[in-house]
Amino acid sequence: MTGRSQKAKKKSAAANALWGGRFDAAPGAVMEEINASIDFDKKMFAQDIAGSKAHCAMLMAQSIISAEDGNAILAGLDTILGEMESGGFAFDRALEDIHMNVEARLAELVGDGAGRLHTARSRNDQVATDLKIWVRDALDGLDGAAKDLQSALIDKAESHAATVMPGFTHLQTAQPVTLGHHLLAYVEMLGRDRGRMADCRRRLNECPLGAAALAGTAFPIDRDATASALGFDAPAANSLDAVSDRDFVVEFLCLGAILAVHMSRLAEEIVLWCSEPFAFAHLSDAFSTGSSIMPQKRNPDAAELVRAKCGRVIGALTGLLVVLKGLPLAYGKDLQEDKEPVFQVAETLALGFAALTGMIADIAFDAERMKNAAGRGHSTATDLADWLVRVLGMPFRRAHHVTGALVRRADEKSCALNELDLADMQAEEPAITDDVFGVLGVDNSVNSRTSFGGTAPANVVRAVAEARRRFL
């Protein structure tokens, strides 16, 4: 027999083992190529084996399979897990997915008794269970990574509690703020992201195992036992929903998209701060690259790539929503398309966290340049208007008008507000006194912003301590 015919016979045998007596021949090459998922769903090997072990233990406890068969199956599953963890397992695309690769190897180790493992379950509830456990594990890992980034931001904020920088609206200088206050804004964003992770984890934590193909099973299974063994809060209540639900995947991708947007915003700020026109900050060689033609260049490529990868996360969410939108109950092969975006997004977010955490720890700020920039653009104009209200009792709208006239006068004289003479001030409002100059410096401005959540250095010191209590 030729090598080609031997291979075809092997594939046919694999197909028959997979599909049973309904099919006589192996699938065609194109069908095999479009149908196989082992190239990516092998990432779930640990979760798949954990699910199989829980199912086997339950079958034994319910006397659905014998202790002899069950113990042999459990030992075989442990062997397979060791092979996969060590990289010594030979995955076979002809066996289509992680479930059948495990089952085929189990048959080699255990014999015909391995076939009893699939009693009272389907690949439909099996894959839903595997993916829920995988997403749950991914959420736990990403939560830890988000916490690490928060810690780096909090540490940097503490060291820059009194460092003055320009605050922007519309990317125009607005009011002076402190760098510590600015960095803590991202700590709050990440706190909401971690809250979304916890919500997603809580909602997904119902176990599909035991729903079988779609209708449940006639075997006397104990779904509470398998749910508990796998760390779920309860079994999923409806068998149809259990095998077809991918809300948890959509929610994971949705929270991932929001998180990626937050990462991108922070990365964009790093890019701006490290640019020559800003020159607020400097990244070391560890997070910078050069140019192949311009020897003077230092490019913040790590930040730029974090910013760019946001697009693929948003794309993954959109792609899966389109897949799901037209699916009737219960399971359709379309659902095989749920895994690759989940795996890719989890990896992308983990890499983004590592890069941003490293950059925040690495970045060095030019406090003097930032403070000088904070004083440009008449950034203390609001302080002047507030002084007119507070000291002179002027209605705010009138104070806003007077301040605007003084800003125009300063522009005409090409000077800052605090460089105007008192006579210039009094030409617009005779009641203004020398005391007004006490509120026009950037240090005075930030020190005055003591309202809850404000930018004053004293606030930042307290906010750092509170952030550590809340998040770390």
CB 171 within 8 A of CB 379: no
Give the H or E element holding residue 470: helix 457-471
Give the H or E element holding residue 206: strand 206-207
The answer for 87, left when phi > 0, alpha when psi is -120 to 50, beta otherwise, is left
**Catalytic residue status for 52:** no
Q: How would you classify the pairing of strands 206-207 and 234-235? A: parallel
Q: Give the range among 18-32, 130-144, 330-344, 345-359 with minimum mean pLDDT.
A: 18-32
Q: How would you classify the pairing of strands 364-365 and 281-282? A: antiparallel
pLDDT tens digits along 225-262? 999 999 999 999 999 999 999 999 999 999 999 999 99
Structure tokens at 137: 């594990």
Q: Is the preceding peptide bond at 198 cis, omega within 30 degrees of 0? A: no
Longest dimension (CA), the chain: 107
CB 264 within 8 A of CB 236: no
Give 17's DSSP letter: H
337 CB burial (10 A radius; 0-12, 13-18, 19+): middle
Mean pLDDT of 339-362: 97
Structure tokens at 134: 């995988």
Q: How confident is the model at residue 22 (pLDDT cuts 50, 70, 90)?
A: low
Q: How confident is the model at residue 293 (pLDDT cuts 50, 70, 90)?
A: confident
Predicted confidence (pLDDT) at residue 58 exceeds the cutoff of 50: yes
% of the chain residues with pLDDT over 90: 83
Predicted confidence (pLDDT) at residue 18 exceeds the cutoff of 60: no
Catalytic residue, candidates 170, 292, 414, 451: 170
CB 154 within 8 A of CB 357: no
Mean pLDDT of 363-370: 97
Q: Which residues, 6 or more positions from 430, have their beta carbon under 8 angstroms from its beta carbon?
A: none
CA–CA separation, 417 and 425 (whole Å): 9
**Average pLDDT of every residue of the chain:** 92
Confidence (pLDDT) at 35? 74
Give the H or E element holding residue 169: strand 164-169
- pTM of the predicted protein model: 0.90
pLDDT tens digits along 382-432? 989 999 999 999 999 999 999 999 999 999 999 988 899 999 999 999 999
Q: What does 317-332 look like in DSSP terms, one character per residue?
A: HHHHHHHHTTPPSS--
The answer for 449, left when phi > 0, alpha when psi is -120 to 50, beta otherwise, is beta
Confidence (pLDDT) at 3? 41
Confidence (pLDDT) at 131? 98
Confidence (pLDDT) at 4? 40
> CA nearest 270: which of 213, 186, 176?
186
Structure tokens at 215: 């209708």
**Catalytic residue status for 122:** no
pLDDT tens digits along 105-129? 999 999 999 999 999 999 999 999 9
Catalytic residue, candidates 66, 275, 284, 291: 291
What is the CB-side half-sphere exposure of residue 36 using CA atoms within 13 A? 19
